[in-house]
Amino acid sequence: MNWWETEFLAVKDNKLWIAGKDAAALAKRYGTPLYVYGKNRILERYAQLDDAFTRHSALPARICYAMKANSHRGILRLLQRRGAWIDAVSPCEVETALKAGFPAERILFTGTSVSRADLRTVFGIDGLTINIDAAEQLEIMSEVRRREFPSKSIRVSVRWNPGVGRGFDARVITAGKRSSDGTPIKFGVEAKKVIDVFSRARRLGFHPVGLHQHLGSGWVREDFGMVRAAVDRLVRKAREVEKAGFPLEFLDFGGGFGPRYLKNRAVFPVGDYIAYLSGAVARAGLAVKALAIEPGKFMVGDAGVLLLGVEYVKESYGNIFACVDGGTFNTVPRPAIYLQAHHEIVNASRIDGQARARITVAGNLCETGDIFGRERSMPLPVSGDVLAVLCAGAYCRSMASNFNLREIPREVLI
């Protein structure tokens, strides 16, 4: 069995099968490039988290799907029916979640650089919780509330920056003073300002209900120690907040744990993590009524693939290219954006083949960085083969653009 095989992906007759369907047949029916997502894999991921909370925590869990990972309507509806909550980061995401059937009470809006127009929209949605990203935001929030919603009780929570962060690439570490490459980190309220933000929020007429952190994205096994330390920080801060007279309805640990993108990278132990954070909250004797997490990648990452058609195989100065009918920016932009991003690529038409070669899978955009995978060992493709870019369910369609005026592929959820 290949390391990437799951309930969603299997090999039969040396060809790739996706959710019980022949990948080449899907490519033929819908055309390439094509995103294919699997309902059952997404539900399996949800169940994994839900079961872990049931096993380890006496408190109800809010599994808030980070819809920025993939806001496909069918996926949202599937998760809505299953009881998920939503992490939304723009007013448009909030509205999309509402349209998919999520009640506002199950949505947390976590914005950054939030405008007055954003505030007018989100304050108008009854039951929504608004996460505060900056102490400096409070005056503007108060002004908009006074002017347009003077008698409304608005639920807020505080996103703090615990001073430590973790992610697979410098660009996606979202807590700490600076990222691993020195970039100043813009998110959240600094530790020493947190209590003051709670007091001022209440004084200005808001109703503070929660404390939140998000450390970054794409954790693997070796990040667990660091993540545990950050859990401890959040729990300690929550105790301080409670002692200062602000009972917390929920504590939100954010997202960050990923699926398996690489063969030689052990996955983050998500069950142990949920056990750990549940235990830490219980031991601290916090009065919180619910625990929240915000998984994006974990929920949909390995429940999606991108199918590409090989137009021709090119040789130039000894390099061999599989020239495909899609471009990274329009389909799977992650490898073109993040140095550390890796997507496994398999030849769906011939999984194993004798003539293995080092193939660079090149897209159809005018940019050298437009490659899905560099010098990958795989059977030599031929024109008409279908290649599958794996783990394309998260942050692929949602970050795709029309660069070079190329279309963004269609999506099927099966």
Indicate which residues carry an active-site annotation. Answer: 366
Contacts 24+ apart (CB under 8 A), 198-201: 198/158, 198/241, 198/244, 198/246, 199/244, 200/135, 200/138, 201/132, 201/138, 201/156, 201/158
Cβ 406 vs Cβ 330: under 8 Å: yes
Minimum Å gap between C-beta 359 and ligand LLP is 24
Give the pair of three-digit tokens for residue 151. Answer: 């008698």
Amino acid at 2: N
Residue with tokens 């349209």: 99
Minimum Å gap between C-beta 287 and ligand LLP is 24
SS3 240: helix
Minimum Å gap between C-beta 258 and ligand LLP is 6
* Alpha-carbon gap, residue 216 to 255, rounded angstroms: 7
Residue closest to 54 by CA, chosen among 74, 21, 83, 17: 83
Give the footprint of ligand LLP on this chain (CB under 6 A).
66, 69, 87, 110, 172, 174, 214, 217-218, 254-256, 294-298, 334, 395
Minimum Å gap between C-beta 254 and ligand LLP is 5
Residue closest to 241 by CA, chosen among 213, 208, 215, 217: 208
For ligand LLP, the closer CB: 80 or 90: 90
Minimum Å gap between C-beta 152 and ligand LLP is 25
For ligand LLP, the closer CB: 47 or 287: 47
For ligand LLP, the closer CB: 93 or 294: 294
Backbone CA torsion sign across 182, 183, 187, 188: positive
For ligand LLP, the closer CB: 254 or 363: 254
For ligand LLP, the closer CB: 86 or 322: 86
* Alpha-carbon gap, residue 185 to 178, rounded angstroms: 5
Give the pair of three-digit tokens for residue 71. Answer: 């806001």
Cβ 330 vs Cβ 403: under 8 Å: yes
In the beta sheet, which residues pair with residue 289? Answer: none
For ligand LLP, the closer CB: 290 or 351: 290
Minimum Å gap between C-beta 340 and ligand LLP is 9
* Alpha-carbon gap, residue 161 to 180, rounded angstroms: 15
Strand ranges, E, within 183-303: 189-190, 206-212, 250-252, 290-293
